[in-house]
Chain A
Amino acid sequence: MNTGTETISASVLDSLISVQRRERWARAWKRFVSRPMSVVGLGIIIVVVVSAILAPYLAPYPQHAGKFTDFANALQGPSLTHPLGTDHIGRDILSRILFGYRLSLMMITVVLGFGVPVGIVLGLVAGYYGGWTETVIMRLTDTALALPPLVMALAITSALQPTLWNAMLAIAALWWTWHTRLVQSIVSSERNEEYVQAAELAGAGPLHVMFREILPNCLSPILVKVTLDAGFVILIGAGLSFIGVGVQPPRPGLGTMVSQGTGYLPESWWFAVFPGLAIFVLVMGFNMLGDGLRDVFDVEVNR
């Protein structure tokens, strides 16, 4: 833009920019829908989320996810009454998987719900203010990034009783680091773009600049990352449960079920296999979705 912008009011500038933005989103959506893998991914996620929310109604034996035993029916293979078989306590595996999805989604929500906003805020602050603030924040981030995630989560969970909640906390405690890094790198390059300077000239305060000017430009990479993260969180969570420091029996954690199932191979293979497949499907869904989003936004984000 040329010097003529100084005479145009900030609000007009604002609305021009937001129209551009809206158009970009619309184009992105079109591209997204044209790729089958992305759509499949989205489909999977929607199905899982809906099933998880409606689990008490969809599950054939919802009480099997709670205080229930039926030893006479233990380790039954897949059949009409139990499509995915029963476990060593006689509980229906299909129902437990549906409730297990609830736990998985809860894990994602908690971990990302905490980790992402914290990461974004730190990244924004670091990138915007630069200088000493940036150095401190980024050093802290690098330090945290240097810690092996699974091992750290293991150590933390072991100290505070192994429960699902503590596992989530342990994972969340490290999750913000990636987002901080990501946001900071974007922000520090956007910082000096003209639209930012324009806003500042127009009298916008730092908060406004950070959150209403710069942040929207970060949204697409963040969105992609969050989607891919979701899959990763599930894998780590399932891993922790598998080892025994995540979801504790008798709660229907997917990783926990696989772990218990390994004791009954190979005769009662369904006990370990189906929950494992359930994890796979969910993670695959997130990865497909995330990959699709990335391809779509890459074109837009490409400068």
Chain B
Amino acid sequence: MGQDSMEKLKSPLRTTEALEETLRDPGSRRSFLKGLGAAGVAGLAGCTSGDENGSTETDASTGDGDDGSEDTTTDGDSESGGQTLRLNATQRFGTIDPAKGTDYTQVMALVNLYDPLVFPDEEGNLQPHLADDWSVSDDNRTYTFEIREDATFHSGNPVRAEDVQFSVERFFDINQGYASLLTGVLSKENVTVVDKRTVDFTLDRVHSPFLATLVLLFIVDKKQVMDNTADGEFDDRGDYSQKWLNSNDAGSGPYELASFERQSSIAFSKYDDYWMGWGEDPFETVEIRIITKDPTVRSLMKTGELQMSSQYQSLETYQALEEEEGVRVESIPTVTLFYMKINTQIEPTNDPAVREAMAYGFDYKTARNEISPGSMQAQGPLAPAFGAHDDSIEQPTYDPERARQVLADAGYEEGDITIQNTYVKSFGLEEKMGLLFQQNMNEIGIDVELNPQTWGTMTELATSVEDTPHVNQVFYGPVYPSPDTVFYNQYHSDAASTWMSMEHLEDDTIDSLIEEARSTVDTDQRNQIYADLQSELAGLYPDLFVFVQSKKHAFADEVQGYTYRPAMSFDYWSHDFTHK
């Protein structure tokens, strides 16, 4: 989920109305979203949301691993002397391999176990992290990073430029996860070790979002990885330790892996020698449990067995928890959007008139106010908080008359059109959206079949144009801190056929605009291109832009330090958390 750097206004602006107001004033908005164009907001949502939705199973079945007995849970006052932070996630940890992880739970783990070169701050600006300094060449194609002196891996090995180079090679060789983001931008041969602590990245071409993408490059311990390889396809590098990294970590992050049960929980223990050092009262152990059922989360937060909830609990659960003593619920604005992605290549949704009718036939207000209270109106695919957001583009409103007219003008009669609406099974919010959509479409003469699926199936259906259903409900936010991801991953024809691009859009104008933006270094010029992109897209109606998400978390009172960062799962960086 993307989040944005509205953090600046975090304190006085908890409430949605105040926030919306700020957003509407271009001056104050720009002031807190400076870096958005280039280095700004980091959102690593997309996949996540998708995947998040992905493993929410039926109401009646769960992948819950809430048998506290099987896992070695350290209780609050254990002999090790430290406190344990327990939080829940709503989907399993598919992998903890830094070259493969993409969704919200995976990055949740990775961000604690590993360090990237740069790190987003509360506003989304990139701060030095493993790299304590960097410079960019005049032609904007070479980036030089200085690795900090005092950083060490959990193994004890120091972090050197070699490790960075190795990490890049591993990333590209394995070629999963987000490797595709840098394909065509960087070749692994062009990452050079200048000296023990300096590394150069020479890009194949100017790529304005490059630095932002680097938050996803988690640095691994080359020595340790090479020590643990098994037989594999990478010649002398074997399997690149994929097997070993499935259940171990080779990172330098603030926490080390303590235990890992893929379907039920993962636990980390504090790495005392972390280069950043520790403040007062950090958590010795962090345990993330997979709990999808609301009553369970509620019950555990009540008894204190859980100290922080996920952002995907039901409205009723948050309401109940707010009443609970010792628990507070915080509401955090994000830059993740909730879309109804429309397949633009199959009948009848390949007809822009049909899409336009759908866009005007949907009751956005009810969706926002009743189904997802606290969320904000969307206007195009870019969250309004982005500096590059164009306020003047047309956002459809609920106008069934107009919708019916559009259909009639295009020659359709009532009952002519039947479409499917697909969403993640038993994800309450999406089920409600589906029902609302069905009812709304019914009023304008379109028949809708509801089609709940597992997230796994949805992502698979996305890979083929014919199989992708007409309408798909997806949460998506920027994958890296740049508007580029909102456009490239969703709308560029090269990026088609993933769950992020279920629109399967193939439009030359859009493609060339996206490419132009990528090679434009000047922020203002680039924002102009983004503005053009937004209005082009507005005319195509590839999606229903339903709302901008405002996420909620429940916290036990003793958990402090939660720091919102506009980057998916970077707010779960447990180095922030302290206990009272």
Contact = CB atoms under 8 A, between A and B. Distances in A.
A72 B438 CA distance: 17
A185 to B, nearest CB: 38
Interface in A2-50: none
A81 interface: no
A244 interface: yes
Interface in A39-82: 67-69, 71-72, 74-75
In which size bucket is the chain A interface?
20 to 34
B58 interface: yes
A77 to B, nearest CB: 14
Contact of A263 (B294, B366, B436, B439): B294
Nearest to B57: A244
B432 A267 contact: no
B534 to A, nearest CB: 30
Interface string B27-65: 000000000000000000000000000000111110000
B341 interface: no
Interface SS, B side = helix
Interface string B287-308: 0000001110000000000000
A250 B439 CA distance: 12
Contacts of A249: 431, 450, 452
A265 B297 CA distance: 12
Contact of A250 (B57, B61, B293, B435): B435
Interface string B413-440: 0000000000001101001100110110
B442 interface: yes
Contacts of B436: 69, 71
Contacts of A74: 370
Given A71-B432, A88-B432, A243 B61 contact: yes
Interface string A238-275: 00001110001110000000011011110110000000
Contacts of B439: 67-69
A89 interface: yes
A163 to B, nearest CB: 11
A244 B60 contact: yes
A169 B279 CA distance: 62
Contacts of B452: 248-249
Nearest to B436: A69
Contact of A259 (B59, B314, B370, B438): B59
B438 A263 contact: no
B17 to A, nearest CB: 20
B371 interface: yes
Contact of B316 (A69, A244, A267): A267
Interface in A79-113: 88-89
Nearest to A242: B60
B194 interface: no
Contacts of A264: 314, 316
Given A244-B426, A248-B452, A259-B58, A69 B320 contact: no
Contacts of B294: 263
Interface string B248-264: 00000000000000000
B331 to A, nearest CB: 19
B316 A262 contact: no
B58 A263 contact: no
B428 A263 contact: yes
A268 B294 CA distance: 14
Given A67-B442, A243-B58, A263 B432 contact: no
A67 B435 contact: yes
B435 A89 contact: yes
A265 B58 CA distance: 16
A242 B426 CA distance: 12
Contacts of B370: 71-72, 74
Contacts of B426: 244
A21 B370 CA distance: 65
A243 B60 contact: yes
Given A69-B435, A69-B436, A88 B59 contact: no
Contacts of A243: 58, 60-61
A172 B316 CA distance: 39
Contacts of B371: 71
Contacts of B293: 263
Interface in B356-377: 366, 370-371
A251 to B, nearest CB: 10
A74 B316 CA distance: 11
A89 B432 contact: yes
Contacts of A263: 59, 293-295, 314, 316, 428
Contacts of A68: 435, 439
Nearest to B441: A67
A181 to B, nearest CB: 32
Interface string B304-320: 00000000001010001
Nearest to A248: B452
Contacts of B432: 69, 71, 88-89
Nearest to A72: B370
Given A71-B370, A75-B316, A267-B320, A260 B442 contact: no
B435 A260 contact: no
Contact of A67 (B57, B320, B438): B438
A14 B428 CA distance: 64
B321 to A, nearest CB: 12
Nearest to B366: A71
A260 B316 CA distance: 13
A75 B294 CA distance: 16
Contacts of B366: 69, 71
Nearest to B295: A265
A89 B439 CA distance: 12
B432 to A, nearest CB: 6
Contacts of A88: 428, 432
B330 to A, nearest CB: 22
Contacts of B314: 263-264
A74 B425 CA distance: 20
Nearest to B452: A248
- Name which of A69, A259, A260 has the most chain B CB atoms within 10 A of its CB: A69
B316 A268 contact: yes
Contacts of B431: 249-250
Contacts of A267: 316, 320
A72 B371 CA distance: 9
Nearest to B298: A265
Nearest to B426: A244
Nearest to B299: A265
A264 B428 CA distance: 11
A69 B442 CA distance: 12
A1 to B, nearest CB: 61
A104 to B, nearest CB: 18
Nearest to A243: B60
A263 B439 CA distance: 23
A119 to B, nearest CB: 31
7 contacts: A69-B432, A71-B371, A72-B370, A74-B370, A242-B60, A264-B314, A267-B320
Interface of B: 57-61, 293-295, 314, 316, 320, 366, 370-371, 425-426, 428, 431-432, 435-436, 438-439, 442, 448, 450, 452
Given A67-B442, A262-B295, 15 more contacts: A68-B435, A69-B366, A69-B436, A71-B366, A75-B316, A89-B435, A243-B58, A243-B60, A244-B59, A244-B60, A248-B452, A250-B435, A259-B60, A267-B316, A268-B316
Interface of A: 67-69, 71-72, 74-75, 88-89, 242-244, 248-250, 259-260, 262-265, 267-268
